[in-house]
Amino acid sequence: MSLYIILFIGVGILSFAVSRRLKNKFRKYSQIRWNADITGREIAEKMLRDNHIHDVEVISVPGKLTDHYNPAKKTVNLSEAVYHGRSAAAAAVAAHECGHAVQHATAYSFLEFRSAMVPVQNVSARILNMVVLFMFLGGAFIFGMEGAFLNTALLVIIGCYAVITLFSLVTLPVEFDASKRALAWIQDQNIASPDEYGQAKDALKWAAMTYVVAALGSIVGLLYWVSIYLGGRD
């Protein structure tokens, strides 16, 4: 299992590094005023109008990097810094979240699949937490029982991890496509200088990297539990 320990540590270090890099990028680009001098809210509202979307509301939510699109309520939720911000970072995030709204309006297949997976993923995460916690708390008792019981528990964990891993993989094209739509719109509108466009692209690149690292972590976790199950059958 030493290989998986190394992989887990590696993913943890990578996750920390990417998260730190993302925060630094957004902090840097948030301090550079956007030449167009329009807020993230105005960016979002204009992108929605340009895509003929009139039933989605742009609202402000508390926190940092809490921006998201809610397909159930049809709201583009922007953190306060993005909602009121007049920077490349604010414009990039606002346009990216509107990219999800455009995906929703055009029935983008990966977004629809991910949305359908949300309740299954949530249930799988809860079951996974309960089973793993039970196994750690009662480890001595469980490993002393019949192999069939342990194998069943491992299969449940593998099944839950498989759902979570699939969800994280499906998330990747959804996020990359939203960024692609956002950057294309910003460029088409001619509201950013080459430097500002580069800042927006760089900020979204590092935001996307967080999802890549999350997917890698899920894959490593799935392979770890599969290896335990197969090892117990040898």
Would you name the residues annotated as active-site residues? 97
Task: Scan for tokens 């937490």, then name that residue.
Answer: 129
According to DSSP, the residues that pair with 68 across neighbouring strands are: 77
Residue 103 phi/psi, 5-degree rounding, is -60, -45
**Alpha-carbon distances, residue 182 vs 8, 95, 105, 132 (angstroms):** 33, 5, 15, 40
Cα torsion 107, 108, 113, 119: sign: negative
**Alpha-carbon distances, residue 221 vs 33, 45, 65, 165 (angstroms):** 42, 40, 26, 9
Helix axes 2-30, 194-233, angle to 10 degrees: 160
Q: How far apart are CA 113 and CA 120, in angstroms?
A: 11
